[in-house]
Structure 1
Amino acid sequence: MAQLAPHVRSVPANQIREITQAAWARPDSIVLSIGEPGFPTPGHILDAARATLDRDETGYTPNAGIAPLRQAFAQRTGAGIGREVDPGRVFITSGAQQGLHLAMSVLLDAGDEILVPNPGYPTFAMTAALLHAVPVEYPLYPEHGFQPRIEDIEALLTPRTRVLLLNSPSNPLGAVFSADLTRDLVDLARRHDLWIISDECYEAFTFDVPHVSPLAFDGVDGERVITSLTLSKTYGLTGLRIGALVLPAGMETVLNTVMESIVSCVASPSQYAALAALTGPQDYVEEASAHYRANRDAACTVLDEKGINYLQAEGAFYLWADVSHVSGGNVRDWTLRFLDRQGVAVAPGTAFGSIGEGWIRIALCGDRAELLEGLGRLPGRPALPQPAGKRSAA
């Protein structure tokens, strides 16, 4: 039998899908392993998609997307960074994942290196490998709050380094970069003439801290930052596959060519649904954000009671929790056993990189009662023995 390409055979399996599919095979499972918003899609968004079909607007659109949608994304982005963004810099994509693939396609040649976070979303490295580029992991250590450090990144730079990939709010960590750190990361890229790909899938969901885009510190017309956005999480449109790239000025022609060679254009019903989402009532986003915050707080209470350490999530809708007291140095196997014995699926930290060993990602986006039931089945951390001569309070 003819062999598949070596670079395809070497791409590792996605451990998030592994545990989630195992859970879906058990009808009684509590699935906390995947970030799937659980609210009904707002009616005006569905109406916009239906209206597109009713008027038979099912032909090609421009490669870059319909003009009103590009304008809507530009206005949202401009409001976030405090200055106008030319809609000509916005390119509509079939979800954030295709946006990341497009961005890497135009920036990376075979053998080029892209710096990706560890822990970080697994497709960052997978996509680079499929393009014959080399993903190089920069560490996010627990002792530094899982925040990137400039010195750690600079130590990894080589003549082949071309791109620095940033993700704030972070999946899987829920960590959010401060304005000072974001500025320092852009300055680092400028000093070393690197591109930045900024994955901002969860930009709508931060808690008591602002979301700060690297675009805020890039040139007025863009210099080196490509921002990947999506409506999958913001409006619960995961199945419509709709997102956008915000590019530096002057990249439109090459992106049109690359898009034409991959998918031509995004489906028109998805584009008009996205337009309705961005320009219509924003109740969904406000209610979802409040739900995720409340779920985070309720989940933290359970983990506190069990003595389980976790990173306080400042954004996205995940909790990053330490189960090293029971995972025995192989958290991937432990999550499978936990599912088998307790009927609860959580994502193993090693799905996101080697530093995730001993940690799990808990999705906070579903039903609160189910979330708390699932977390209630986690084994608690044994209390430390008290020093001799001391007693617990009565």
Structure 2
Amino acid sequence: MNFNANKIIKGIEAPPIAEAMSWISSVPSNRPLINLCQAVPSYPPAESLTDEIGRLAKRPETSLYSDILGIAPLRQELAQSLSADYQASIAAENIAITAGCNQAFATTMMALAESGDNVILPVPYYFNHHMWLEMLGIQPRYLQAINSGSTTPVAADAAPLIDERTRAIILCSPNNPTGGIYPAKTIEEFHALAKARGIALVVDETYKDFRADPAPPHGLFKLKDWGDNFIHLYSFSKVYALTGYRVGSVTAGPAFLAELEKILDCITICAPTISQGAALYGLRSLEDWKNQKLATAKEKAAALRQVFTHPGLSYKLLSVGAFFAYIQHPFSDDAKTVAKRLAQKHDLLALPGSMFGPGQEQYLRLAFANVEAGVMPDVVARLIESQS
């Protein structure tokens, strides 16, 4: 390269998934790899959904831009879906459709903060959240979420981290990487803190559909003034197995979405029109299919909990929930060394806790949605194998 690249970008580590996949690219194995590296459904989209995508592809208007904030039917349908899920009243004007939840987060941060500002970020964090903050020159102020075996952050612990340049508190629930689901009271306490200090609460609820309790995840949408400082992020990718189609959303007050619209117009103009049509079909027609897949996800989580009761296992299950489990390894080695050894010698690919923030050297993330429930005994067998 004969030119100078952005020094900030050069200083950011490579994408973690790509790095982990490189560990196994040239290592021979006599048995199939168990890949617990990346959070993707282990099944394709519903057949009727792929048929609908084919139908949409033949419509001339599918090749055109949509409105910047998304097609009106999808915004309306998602508003109705969220209203039912949270037992609240959410309008289409509160919805912006994005090219995946990563873009929802990225544009939200650009609209909220500038270089030199800071945000409160619980650790362990979703690594793409952290990478984007670094790219923007926004300082993450780390809030340790693992306390006495719990993976739920405490709002009171965040208060001393807030100063005049703090712009937001970021939560991810159900959490990536731990799988933990924060109690409604915890989310509401963080909201009260954010409101009192005049900052935003941004909650990434990509995995909300996979929670075990059908009760609303929190009561924030029921507040009359919720749009003043609450921003909700969501993804259709996991619930409808549309990861490659890139479609997500931001739910916020109309004034904030007006600022977000400027950013979206400069990045993708709009989310892919065909992906928006796929998400709309999912909301309207795939409730039964979705519920079947949610039941399967619960079976996988239950199977993982069960096999971790094996008396010969020295790894500890810290939390398990939607798509992910967070485990504590028994070694004095750092997390990356342990993860690479598991991948190269025991054919089990997981991510080291060090990819999810400081103070995580004793942990590994298992993205167990990638495999079937029947694979869980083999997961534990390979972990036990690694102990000797």
TM-score after normalising by structure 1: 0.91
**Post-superposition shift, 1:279?**
0.8
Residue 126 (structure 1) shift: 0.8
Listed one character per residue, the Cα deviations across residues 92-125 of structure 1 (whole Å, up to 9, x for unaligned) are 0000000001100100111010111110101111
| 1:81–1:285 CA distance, 2 compared to 1 (3 A) | same
> Residues 203 and 211 of structure 1 are in contact (CA less than 8 Å); yes or no, is this contact kept in structure 2?
no
Count of residues in Structure 1 that have an aligned counterpart in Structure 2:
379
RMSD: 2.0
1:47 to 38, 43, 51: 51
Moved over 6 A (4+): none
In structure 2, C-alpha distance between the alignment counterparts of 1:348 and 1:254, rounded to whole Å: 37
Match of 2:173 in 1: 168
Distance in 2, Cα, partners of 1:381 & 1:49: 44
User: Secondary structure, in 3 states, of the residue corresponding to 1:239?
Assistant: helix
Give, in whole Å, the separation in 1 of the partners of 2:215 and 2:5.
Answer: 45
Matched, 1:273 2:275: no
Residue equivalent to 1:18: 19
Partner SS for 1:251: helix
- Structure 2 unmatched ranges of 5 or more: none
Q: Which residue in 1 is equivalent to 2:361?
A: 357
Please state whether the residue corresponding to 1:277 is helix, strand or coil: helix
Contact 2:314 2:384 in 1 (8 A): no
Structure 1 portions without partners, runs of 5+: 383-394
For residues 347 and 115 of structure 2, what CA distance do their matches in structure 1 show? 43
Taking every aligned residue pair, what percent have the same amino acid on both sides?
A: 25
TM-score by length of 2: 0.92
CA deviation profile, 1:26-66 (whole Å, cap 9, x unmatched): 68321011111011211222122211211222111100110
Q: Which amino acid aligns with 1:52?
A: L
| 8 Å Cα contact 2:175/2:181 also seen in 1 | yes
Q: Give the aligned residue type for 1:230.
A: S
Confirm or deny that 1:71 pairs with 2:68: no
* Distance in 2 separating the partners of 1:329 and 1:155: 33
1:140 counterpart = 2:145: yes
Q: CA offsets per residue over residues 231-260 of structure 1, 9 Å max, x none?
A: 111111100100111011322332221111
Match of 1:316 among 315, 322, 330: 322
Q: Secondary structure at the match of 1:304?
A: coil
Q: How far does the alpha carbon of each residue in 1:311-370 deviate from its partner, in whole angstroms, 9 at most, with x for none? A: 242x311111111x12x2401111111111111101111111123211111122122233
Q: Residue 341 in 1 paired to residue 342 in 2?
A: no
Number of the residue aligned with 1:390? none
How do residues 1-394 of structure 1 correspond to structure 2 at under 5 angstroms?
1-23=2-24, 28-57=32-61, 58-143=63-148, 145-208=150-213, 210-213=215-218, 215-216=220-221, 218-220=223-225, 222-305=227-310, 306-313=313-320, 315-323=321-329, 325-326=330-331, 328-365=332-369, 366-379=371-384
Task: Tell me if the contact between 2:232 and 2:252 (Cα under 8 Å) persists in the aligned partners.
Answer: yes
- Counterpart in 2 of 1:386? none
**Aligned amino acid, residue 156 of structure 1:** L
Q: Do the aligned partners of residues 359 and 144 (structure 1) sit closer, same or farther apart at CA in structure 2, a change above 3 Å counting?
A: closer
Contact 1:16 1:351 in 2 (8 A): no
**Displacement of 1:180:** 1.5
The letter of the residue matching 2:374 is A
User: Mean Cα displacement is larger for which, 232-241 or 25-34?
Assistant: 25-34
In structure 2, relative to structure 1, the CA distance for the partners of 1:232 and 1:29 (3 Å cut) is same
1:374 is displaced (CA, Å) by 2.7
Q: 1:5 to 1:312 in 2, by over 3 A?
A: closer
CA-to-partner distance for each residue in 1:241-288, whole Å, 9 max, x for gaps? 001110113223322211111110111111111100111122332122
Matched AA of 1:275: L
* Per-residue deviation, 1:17: 3.1
Tell me if structure 1 keeps the 8 A contact 2:315–2:327: yes
For 1:69 and 1:291, the matched residues in 2 are separated by 27
Whether the aligned pair in 1 keeps the contact of 2:109 and 2:133 (CA below 8 Å) is yes
Q: Secondary structure at the match of 2:325?
A: strand
